[in-house]
Structure 1
Amino acid sequence: MPGTDSAKDPQLARWQRFRNSRNAALVSEHGWLTLTSFQWLEDRPSAVELAPGLWSTDGRAARLTAAAPEGLTLVETGEPVDGTVSAELADEESLMWVQYGGDDGRQVVVELAMRAGKYAMRTRDSQSPVFTGFDGVPTFDFRPDLVIEARFVPYPEPVDVPIGTANPLVDGIHRSVGELVFRLPGSEHEFRLQAEEEKLGALTVTFHDETNGESTDEWRKVSTAKPRPDGTVILDFNRAINYPSAFTPYGTCPMPVKNNSLDYRIEAGEKEPGLF
């Protein structure tokens, strides 16, 4: 942390509150730090790693067959799985479906997911060493010069751009709603990043920069508030965060669109956590 006294610097104090909230969110029960596997379901009942029962899909629904002594219960109701249960998801949906293990039968939650039109399951273990050993994401010191005013230039209509993801078997779509246009300290040219729209008109940009693979993960993201009436927003790179795939090899997080690469070192925000 920089030596500035946050009590005398409201901007720094707000960032420190943001960091505290971010680290608290990451240690939520059965959150991203607890992922221990990602497995595609087969078209015939099959055993999987790290979870009891036989798992399968017919393409439309996922099915799980287990006997009560195996200890699986439904997350939503706590009802034991004794026989066959099924669930249907739309693409990109997820469901915390069943749980097992530990003194309370809830140590591991199995997430059912539909990705790239196919069913997969992920185990989330609250005793994962990544989770139990977590003590916060490393960050750069606060950089007031990387709190940038940008101009949002909306597209006439959103544009769906095909992208890759952290899983090479899963493709994604970036729904670009426009571009954030801005300059960075010491750079002679203008930058433009394609943005996605989030809740209440907020914007998110996923980007590469020249620190990737050195001090930061392969890509990061940063969000802004809804643009002001004049189209301006505050783009605070101190709030650049890692995707879940920086913490686990079992994520399917979206990569940046091709043009969202900055020929600049964004030495602000979260660093590479180096957890696996």
Structure 2
Amino acid sequence: MDNNKKMLGVLLGACLAVLAGCGGKDKPEGGEQASVSADDLAFLNDNQAWRIERHSHLVQPDGWTSLVGLHWLTLKAHYIGSGATSGLRLAVGPEKMGLIRREDGKVWFTPEAGAQLRINDQPVRGRILWHSDQDAEPTVITFDEGKGSISLLQRGSHQALRVRHADASTRQQFAGLDYWPADRRWAVPARFVAHTPARTLQVVDMVGMNNTLANPGRLEFERGGQRYSLEAVGNPDGSLLVIMADRTSGHGSYAAGRYIDVPAPDAQGAVVLDFNRSYNPPCAFTIYATCPLPPAENRLDLRIEAGEKAYAHKPLAQEAGA
């Protein structure tokens, strides 16, 4: 996991490669170095810091690259564990982990004796109510001395178990991220146009489920003399999420689209839409994620050669404990 050092090492090269995009001057004749303005360097440093943080989050022991399982609950009760006799068999963890029972819209878990499970570093003893990722305080059960974890997802009326492990092949063999050169011309001024009243956006995810997301407005911007707009998903803090596809989708960038986090617009609706920080959804790195796909409104007839490129997978070894 030396990609952070590698990314820092290429920063100087990135500065020179991006001069035209940052508004720098062409390289003078005679081999002299082109000058880089303070604003250009600040932009490149900020962008590189964002990339390093992005990489760090992905490869955390509980990051997206650590996923090893997604198991939908289809019965009223499931015995779970890694053993062959488990009704819902996990790739990792104790052979017999416990019993999940669904009752009146709630999910209960009873651990198997000797399973060595913990919640918030406290042993799990007796029957517990299992809170999902949609609750204020989700329940995360850990095992294998904290290297593994299992949590409950709520997707509409459907529920699933998400399993992580620090020794996942997708984490241990993570190939690193690749980007188009940072370019200030892709940090585009945009205008937020609120929907009055606010709407919802129907978005299908990777597992074919329909999701209803808050849609407070759209972002309008110009590129090459053309006007474009993107419907935005609203976050509780006022910031926005854009789920988009463009002409690079499947042709340089991830085929199922990319995401952009956008800060809350100012009082006049002004905001910067920085395509340099467009990034792949978790599904680009693991088959065990449920990712919203770009709605029809956000499929742009525009080639955005900025941000994160498609992920180059390495051949995966057998998962930990499988």
- Give the TM-score of the pair, scaled to structure 1: 0.88
Other-structure match for 2:227: 190
1:40 aligns with 2:84: no
Q: Deviations over 1:103-139 (max 9, x none)?
A: xx21210011111222210110110011122253221
Task: Decide which of 122, 126, 130 is 1:87's aligned counterpart.
Answer: 130
In 1, Cα distance between the equivalents of 2:101 and 2:137? 16
Alignment of 1:1-276 (within 5 A): 2-4=13-15, 8=38, 9-41=41-73, 42-46=75-79, 47-50=87-90, 51=93, 52-58=97-103, 60-71=105-116, 73-81=117-125, 83-89=126-132, 95-101=138-144, 105-134=145-174, 136-168=176-208, 170-184=209-223, 186=224, 188-217=225-254, 218-275=256-313
In 2, Cα distance between the equivalents of 1:68 and 1:125? 22
* Aligned residues: CA RMSD: 2.3
Q: Structure 1 counterpart of 2:154, which letter?
A: M
Return 5+ residue gaps in structure 2 as ranges: 1-9, 17-35, 80-86, 317-322
Confirm or deny: 8 A CA contact 2:78 2:88 kept in the other structure. no
Compare 175-184 and 4-13 and name the one that shifted more. 4-13
Q: Structure 2 counterpart of 1:99, which letter?
A: T
In 2, Cα distance between the equivalents of 1:144 and 1:31? 29
In 2, Cα distance between the equivalents of 1:259 and 1:107? 41
Q: Aligned pair in 2 of structure 1 residues 153, 80: CA closer, same or farther (>3 Å)?
A: closer
Q: Structure 2 counterpart of 1:20, which letter?
A: I
Confirm or deny: 8 A CA contact 1:66 1:84 kept in the other structure. yes
Compare 241-250 and 199-208 and name the one that shifted more. 199-208
In 1, Cα distance between the equivalents of 2:199 and 2:135? 19
Q: Structure 2 counterpart of 1:159, which letter?
A: R
In 1, Cα distance between the equivalents of 2:281 and 2:268? 30
Confirm or deny: 8 A CA contact 1:7 1:13 kept in the other structure. no
Describe the SS at the equivalent of 1:70.
coil
In 1, Cα distance between the equivalents of 2:263 and 2:120? 34
Q: Deviations over 1:64-117 (max 9, x none)?
A: 33323222x232242144x5333244857783421212xxx2121001111122
Confirm or deny: 8 A CA contact 1:108 1:126 kept in the other structure. yes
Confirm or deny: 8 A CA contact 1:208 1:260 kept in the other structure. yes
Q: Structure 1 counterpart of 2:252, which letter?
A: S
Confirm or deny: 8 A CA contact 2:282 2:289 kept in the other structure. yes
Q: Structure 1 counterpart of 2:305, which letter?
A: E
Confirm or deny: 8 A CA contact 1:211 1:265 kept in the other structure. yes
Say which structure is richer in strand. 1
Q: Aligned pair in 2 of structure 1 residues 182, 7: CA closer, same or farther (>3 Å)?
A: closer
Compare 231-240 and 26-35 and name the one that shifted more. 26-35
Describe the SS at the equivalent of 1:23.
helix
Structure number with greater Rg is: 2
Describe the SS at the equivalent of 2:292.
coil
Q: Aligned pair in 2 of structure 1 residues 17, 3: CA closer, same or farther (>3 Å)?
A: closer
Describe the SS at the equivalent of 2:76.
coil
In 2, Cα distance between the equivalents of 1:59 and 1:253? 28
Work out the percentage of aligned pairs sharing the same amino acid: 26
In 1, Cα distance between the equivalents of 2:150 and 2:43? 40
Confirm or deny: 8 A CA contact 1:59 1:119 kept in the other structure. no
Deviation, structure 1 residue 228: 2.4
Q: Structure 2 counterpart of 1:195, which letter?
A: A
In 2, Cα distance between the equivalents of 1:145 and 1:204? 21
Q: Deviations over 1:44-67 (max 9, x none)?
A: 233322253233323522233332
In 1, Cα distance between the equivalents of 2:14 and 2:308? 18
Q: Aligned pair in 2 of structure 1 residues 90, 131: CA closer, same or farther (>3 Å)?
A: closer
Deviation, structure 1 residue 200: 3.6
Q: Structure 1 counterpart of 2:193, which letter?
A: V
In 1, Cα distance between the equivalents of 2:312 and 2:206? 16
Describe the SS at the equivalent of 2:122.
coil
